[in-house]
Chains A and B, each alone.
Chain A
Amino acid sequence: KQEVTQIPAALSVPEGENLVLNCSFTDSAIYNLQWFRQDPGKGLTSLLLIQSSQREQTSGRLNASLDKSSGRSTLYIAASQPGDSATYLCAVTDSWGKLQFGAGTQVVVTP
Chain B
Amino acid sequence: EAQVTQNPRYLITVTGKKLTVTCSQNMNHEYMSWYRQDPGLGLRQIYYSMNVEVTDKGDVPEGYKVSRKEKRNFPLILESPSPNQTSLYFCASSLGSREQYFGPGTRLTVT
Chain A residues near B (Cβ < 8 Å): 31-32, 34, 36, 41-46, 49, 89, 91, 93-99, 101-104
Contacts and interface: CB of A to CB of B under 8 A. Distances in A.
Interface in B29-65: 31, 33, 35, 42-45, 48, 50, 58
B33 A89 contact: no
Contacts of A103: 42
A44 B102 contact: yes
Interface of B: 31, 33, 35, 42-45, 48, 50, 58, 88, 90, 92, 94, 96-105, 107
Contact of B97 (A41, A45, A93, A104): A93
A20 to B, nearest CB: 21
Contacts of A32: 97-98
A32 B98 CA distance: 8
Given A44-B90, A44-B102, A101 B42 contact: yes
Contacts of B98: 32, 49
